[in-house]
Structure 1
Amino acid sequence: MATKKKTAPLGAKPVYKSSASLLPWFGIALVIVLLDQVTKLTVERSFAYGETLPITGFFNLIKVYNPGAAFSFLGDAGGWQRYFFTGIAVVAVGFMLYLMKKHSSQRLFCFALALIMGGAIGNVIDRLAYGHVIDFLDFYWKGVGHFPAFNIADIGISIGAVLFIMDELRRVNKS
């Protein structure tokens, strides 16, 4: 018995439905958020502000606060940046959810977005709960200086951004 293929009415846009689930991507984002929050809470409870624990000749644990964005951008802006960066992150997470739904079968793309989304949510939690982001990973090179301190959320965002670029370059090279 032959099955009839359904066609869209004239002038209607075709509807694309993805059979891929977003659940794995939500799971990855949740893992980033949980790791981020557990490590920040541990540092918050274990260190005084500015306290440093040397680990190696190029790495310390340190407790610092960042009221701004990456590299303390707008960190001394007076407080409005807390809401500004929170708003940007909320809009970005919404857009990432849309992209993940639309392209849910593209694994590397969605993996990258899940890492970025988890990191963004982790830092938003800090901004809403404390008014600043807790940073604690301090890498440095003697004689050169310290890289700005960061956290697990920042690692998720950074790795996600690199994977996103790699995915886009791969896509461009295919066409």
Structure 2
Amino acid sequence: MKNASLMKYGLFALIVVIGVALDQWSKWYAESWLATERPGFFSHPIVLEVPEQAEGTTVEAYLTETFEANSPEEVKTIAQLYTRTEDGQQLHPESELEAGQVIEVTNREVTVIDGYWDFQYTRNPGAAFGIFADKDSSFREPFFLAVSLLAVFIILGLLRGVQNDQRLLLWALALIAGGALGNFIDRARYGYVTDFIVWKYTDAHRWPTFNIADALICVGVAFMVIEMIRDVMRERREGAQIEEV
């Protein structure tokens, strides 16, 4: 019995750690390799230092090698419109670069599946999918920090009652806890959450931008609902068997 309990808590901790690590790594990628500029809201450029081997290359050639996930047309647009020196001077696709020169790219997105899935950087001061993002920060930030911690403590309390055969419920609680902790880390460090995953059906129909932590929470809730349905069906079967006897 003791070994089973240790395995339960060990598996829970492992899923949480992997979930948080995946979430934080993906946000590091978004912070490092995606850029956007929203006048009046925030500016998040990609800052690049030109290496020695790129001495004398053009802006377009350097960005083509650096941004391998972008098509040649996308790189050309970035080089023409969204590349500048660190002091704000606009660069051109044919501008030659010097080793050690620092340049900024003010807008970069990555297309995963054309027309359906993009990576686009944004900052979300609210909850999942931008809920309460327009509330005052003096209320919003401590409120969401408290809610995230409360959710984790509630999950730990629920974990105690998880039976050994309720593996799906264990996964559900671990995924929700991992997602809550992932976004909690962002809010504690920056006061906002980094979102970057865009699912859409053409530009006219877009799901709200989200991140890995949001996805973990949604999958965890789905697993929990499935487990609840299974419990109801199990109870009905057991009740039917008792009536037959």
Q: Give the residue type in structure 1 aligned to 2:224.
A: F
Within 1, Cα distance between the matches of 2:4 and 2:116? 47
Deviating beyond 3 angstroms after TM superposition, the runs of 4 or more aligned structure 1 residues are 16-19
Q: Which letter maps to 2:5?
A: A
CA contact (8 A) 1:18 1:104 kept: no
TM-score, with normalisation over the residues of structure 2? 0.62
Larger Rg over CA atoms: 2
Residue matched to 1:159: 219
Q: Which runs of 5+ in 1 are unaligned?
A: 1-15
Matched, 1:100 2:159: yes
CA contact (8 A) 1:20 1:104 kept: no
One-letter amino acid of the structure 2 residue matched with residue 118 of structure 1: G
CA shift at 1:49, angstroms?
3.0
1:54 maps to what in 2? 111
1:144 is displaced (CA, Å) by 3.2
- The structure showing larger relative contact order (alpha-carbon pairs under 8 Å, at least 6 residues apart) is 1
Give the match for residue 83 of structure 1: 142
Q: Give, in angstroms, the shift of residue 66 of structure 1.
A: 0.7
CA distances 1:61-94 after superposition (whole Å, capped 9, x unpaired): 1100110112211101121212111111101101
| 1:68 pairs with 2:126 | yes
Letter in 1 for 2:33: S
Are 2:17 and 1:30 aligned?
A: yes
Aligned length: 160
Q: SS in structure 2 opposite 1:102?
A: coil
| Selected match of 2:205 from 142, 145, 150 | 145
Q: Percent identity?
A: 34
Measure the CA separation in 2 of the matches of 1:170 and 1:139: 30
Give, in whole Å, the separation in 2 of the partners of 1:81 and 1:49: 24
Q: SS of 1:35's equivalent? A: helix
